[in-house]
Structure 1
Amino acid sequence: MPAPPVQPIVIWFGRVGDLILLSALLEILHRRFGSPCHVIGAGAWPAEIYAAHSDVARVSCLHRYTAWVFDPAWWRTRRALRAGRAGPVYVCETDPRKLARIRRLLRFSGIEAAHCVFLARESSLDTALPHASTVAPTHRGDAQTGVDTALPRTSKVAPTHWVDRLVSFGRLTPAAFNAADYPWPAPAPRCAPLLTVSTAARAECAAWLERQGWRDRTLILVQPGNRRTMRGRRLRVSPADDKAWPLERWAALLRRIHARLPQALIVVCGAPRESRLLE
């Protein structure tokens, strides 16, 4: 007899890019446990990203900088967790301060430790972005489609990509569940992020492109900056910022793109303040 479906709970207080990468894990958990996921994040963007996603049934958004006792969203999420305590909990957060907030939420919600797995604990990760590892997984792609069709292999030289970490994390099963009851999906999952864009968002984008006169143009969007470049009063690209790339390399890349696709329109994206990086 097949195991009854249960709803996976996935928690990550990441930024926009992190939450898009998370979709690789959500598909795996949806297919393993037979029910779309409950995603818990911080900030407004998780709800926007997953509003129309087939692997997500519910999104809870906590306020990023509000103390939990004063955050109505925290209490709503606690009630939802108490009502859904039967499901597995996958905690993707690795930042110690954010992990403390998540552990408090789980404790106050009555979630048993046997229902939880933590990416930081299982992978012995630090709080940085992917680092070199002697056991780092690398993508294996389908020869015809180029899409990942199997679990990552190991490599002695490749850095561990966040997608590989999330895919490997999706293979784990909390102690309260029998892994044999919730096997790896077949056929194999895509093991890659998928951003689902709603019909309304597509229509809004099409209208904006029409107003710009770009409807029939090939667009290439590039964002050289990131949130770390805007910290403090001065804009700067720090050598310690592993999300940054030297501006001269961005310039060289854009020249090569233009040479390869001279008819394309290259659009540099970012916050208004970031425009000074490109002057």
Structure 2
Amino acid sequence: LAEHPDVGEVHRLESRRRPYWTDPRQWRVVDWLRDRPPGPVYVCDDLQRAALRRLLDRAGIPADHRLFFDDAELAARRHWFDRLADMAVRLPPAWAGTVEARPPAFPDQPTLIVPGSALVDLAQWRAERGLTGQIVLIQPGNKRTQRHGRFRSDHHKWWPIENWAQTITAVLESLPEAAVVLCGAPSEQALLLAIADQCRDRRVHACGDQLPMLRLMALANCAHSMIAVDSGPAHIAAALACPSVVLFGAAPTWLWTPKAPPGVPVVTVGGEPDGLDRVDRIGPDRVIAAWRTLAGRIRT
């Protein structure tokens, strides 16, 4: 987000639960908030509202300068994007009635910008790996499907390795000139290698240790398509107009389905609409059939 033209400064908190006195990042955020000119503070978080109120108290932000989600908003069956868009046109109490309400013209989906430097970096990376043709992205992991370096097959977002291998084999049968890039964080590389080993195909590349965020964005910006569990990279790909199939477990699709530009298909499989609360109850044939409905992109 630091490269986005609508973003000013980015201050990252590693954990919302870490005690304040042990976390220098929280100290820096409090100092920055205390030193900034008076203005509205929007808190776009639903899980740790009490902790964030305490952080704002430390920074001396008056209560009427803050805007949080209320319980009624969080109880409504509305997508996160729509909730945030609604919040953006509201004002904290201190400014209520002081300016004319002019709802901005929001797009219907998140807008991500891939900087030119990331495109140059991606071109070099692809050349080094010989990835000259179409690429299908696979995102099999989620931060909750691993713990302390071990696979968590009991988690509702877990899909067995053999299912991923069967799906990838079908993709490459349909697109024999393509390559499959297994995406994930460095901590997920063991899972990606296990899937690649099961595939036994040189066209399958496990790249969890080679995809920093900007490179992943640039890759999603040009990929043929993506198959992913419900995860952050699935949202990135959809926002960058990558046709996608997303596997859902217990998370509600009405809240978390990735948003894409008009005309770009995002097909969800599993979840509440299918009466499923675990990804491992989805058969590979369903995912393969869903992927084959995607037009994909000719861009490489």
TM score, norm. by length of structure 1: 0.58
Which residue in 1 is equivalent to 2:3? 52
Distance verdict in 2 for CA 1:54–1:212, change over 3 Å: same
Of 41, 55, 58 in structure 2, the residue corresponding to residue 89 of structure 1 is: 41
Deviation, 1:246, is 6.3
SS of equivalent to 1:87:
coil
Q: Deviations over 1:50-83 (max 9, x none)?
A: 2211111111123437532243332222122123
SS of equivalent to 2:8:
strand
Which residue in 1 is equivalent to 2:51? 101
Of 67, 70, 73 in structure 1, the residue corresponding to residue 19 of structure 2 is: 67
Q: Percent identity?
A: 35
Deviation, 1:181, is 2.5
Distance verdict in 2 for CA 1:118–1:256, change over 3 Å: farther
Between the aligned partners of 1:232 and 1:221, the Cα distance in structure 2 is 25
Which residue in 1 is equivalent to 2:130? 213
Q: Which sections of structure 1, spanning at least 5 residues, go unmatched? A: 1-49, 126-134, 137-159
Between the aligned partners of 2:103 and 2:2, the Cα distance in structure 1 is 26
Which residue in 1 is equivalent to 2:144? 228
Kindly report the root-mean-square deviation, in angstroms, between the aligned alpha carbons of the 2 structures.
Answer: 2.9
Between the aligned partners of 1:168 and 1:262, the Cα distance in structure 2 is 45
Of 81-90 and 116-125, the range deviating more from structure 2: 116-125
Which residue in 2 is equivalent to 1:168? 86
CA contact (8 A) 1:171 1:184 kept: yes
Deviation, 1:113, is 1.6
Deviation, 1:208, is 0.9
Counterpart code for 2:144: R
Counterpart code for 2:96: N
SS of equivalent to 1:82:
helix
Distance verdict in 2 for CA 1:99–1:178, change over 3 Å: closer
Counterpart code for 1:102: L
Deviation, 1:191, is 3.2
CA contact (8 A) 1:223 1:268 kept: yes
Distance verdict in 2 for CA 1:100–1:274, change over 3 Å: farther
Counting matched residue pairs gives: 191
Map 1:180-191 to 2 at 5 A. 181-185=100-104, 188-191=105-108
Which residue in 1 is equivalent to 2:181? 267
Deviation, 1:184, is 0.5
Between the aligned partners of 2:162 and 2:70, the Cα distance in structure 1 is 35
Counterpart code for 1:195: L
Between the aligned partners of 2:138 and 2:111, the Cα distance in structure 1 is 19
Counterpart code for 2:59: S
Which residue in 2 is equivalent to 1:111? 61
Deviation, 1:196, is 2.1
Q: Which sections of structure 2, spanning at least 5 residues, go unmatched? A: 199-300
Between the aligned partners of 1:75 and 1:114, the Cα distance in structure 2 is 22
Deviation, 1:268, is 1.5
TM score, norm. by length of structure 2: 0.54
SS of equivalent to 2:10:
strand
CA contact (8 A) 1:230 1:274 kept: no
Counterpart code for 1:213: G
